[in-house]
Amino acid sequence: MLKSPNSLPRLLFISAGETLHAQLNGIKTALDAGLQFLQIRWKEAEVAQLQELIERSLPLCREYQAICSINDHPQLAKLSDVQGLHLGLTDMPIAQAREIIGEPKIIGGTANTLADVQQRQAEACDYIGLGPMRFTHSKKKLSPILGLHGYAQIQAALVEQQVPPIYAIGGILLDDVLPLRSLGIHGVAVSGLILQQPSSVKQLNERLHEQLDYSK
């Protein structure tokens, strides 16, 4: 099981859709395009619907050798073969979730401020979803917008600290990738861009793995 922070793919896809068909279609589209890290997120679904989505997504992830995690629902993460769980700031504490799902499954946590990042660091999250970068329709209760300046301030305060991989999230565009990486951000979490332009997976991965020139 994948537990080394540096081995986490730099591109994370957050599933979207109001129906099972829409969710599965989006997941299949992203995997077809080369996606290697999936987070299943379907807030409006009943547990039985979410369970069906997980059961139908896992074979696809195995076929494409992609990591599959789910948003919320630690019990489903424990009982299924998903490899990870993501929790929001108002969800169950990380330590409690870890007791439920056990090792070596990965646990990610949401953050919006420096204090949140430090909290997630203390909670021993495997990765942090930090955002939002800008306004996005994919989340109903949006935290304060960070923008590139917000990420820069947070990263500056974390210099020389051991912090889990941080993914920028929230309305991420292709042109955001290199500026974010230059700040030390590990990767990006994307939903709408990939669903609207599946070819962006290749472009995002190219920029996420491009050698940066820090001498400029």
User: Binding site for Mg(2+), residues?
Assistant: 72, 91
d(CA 69, CA 105): 9
Rounded to the nearest 10 degrees, how much is the dihedral formed by the CA atoms of 107, 93, 88, 67?
Answer: 10
d(CA 194, CA 13): 8
Q: What are phi and psi of 26, to 5 degrees?
A: -65, -40
Residue ranges for the known binding site are 39-43, 71-72, 91, 110, 136-139, 171
Contact between 187 and 165 (Cβ < 8 Å): yes
3-state SS assignment for residue 8: coil
DSSP class of residue 91 equals: S
- The pair of structure tokens assigned to 115 is 């204090």
Neighbours of 201 (CB within 10 A): 22
Q: Report which of 1, 2, 3, 62 is spatially closest to residue 27, judged by C-alpha positions.
A: 62
DSSP class of residue 214 equals: T
Q: In terms of DSSP H, where are the helices of the chain? A: 20-32, 47-64, 74-79, 94-101, 114-122, 147-157, 177-182, 192-196, 200-208
